[in-house]
Amino acid sequence: MSVPVWMLLGFAAWTVLLLVSTVGVYRWSLILAGRAPINSFRADQVEGADRYKRAMRAHANCIENLPVFGAIVVALHIGNVGGTLVDGLSVVILLARVLQSLVHLCFIQSNAVTAVRFGFFFVQLVGFLALIGIIVARCYGSP
């Protein structure tokens, strides 16, 4: 498997791990302790501890960006586009995603913390756009 495919798999694994280790643990601990019924966790109104709310948002951020990265990796694969730069950008995207999630989870969201979190998100956006640019340049740039 190529590095971008491994990074996509890592992104998916991180998304699942984040769900299980934060949202899942929080919900099931309340359910199994008898402090909340299983149907009390509404999707349209997130209630609970601040850390739980941040975990929900961090997981949603992963879900929102996973298909974008997936589409880019599929295009890389179909276009047979690779190389050191593509590999490096793919690694940076996954690292920035993990760091963004951890900043979201581990710190109360002050202006400074939110700016750091956005910085990691911005790195991912730049990586996405760079990979898209590489795909277009290699597949359609020169005949």
State pLDDT tens for residues 111-123. 999 999 999 999 9
pTM, to two decimals: 0.91
CB of 75 within 8 A of CB of 135? yes
Q: What average pLDDT does the segment 112-140 reach?
A: 96
CB of 77 within 8 A of CB of 2? yes
CB of 54 within 8 A of CB of 101? no
Confidence of residue 143 (pLDDT cuts 50, 70, 90): low
State pLDDT tens for residues 8-47. 999 999 999 999 999 889 888 888 898 888 888 877 777 7
Residue 41 confidence (pLDDT): 81
Percent of the chain with pLDDT over 70: 98
Q: What is the 3-state secondary structure (H, E, C) of 26-42?
A: HHHHHHHCCCCCHHHCC
Confidence of residue 77 (pLDDT cuts 50, 70, 90): very high
Given the structure tokens 């911005």, which residue do they identify?
122
Q: How far apart are CA 139 and CA 111, in angstroms?
A: 41
Domains of the chain listed by start with CATH number: 3-140 (1.20.120.550)
pLDDT at 126 over 90: yes
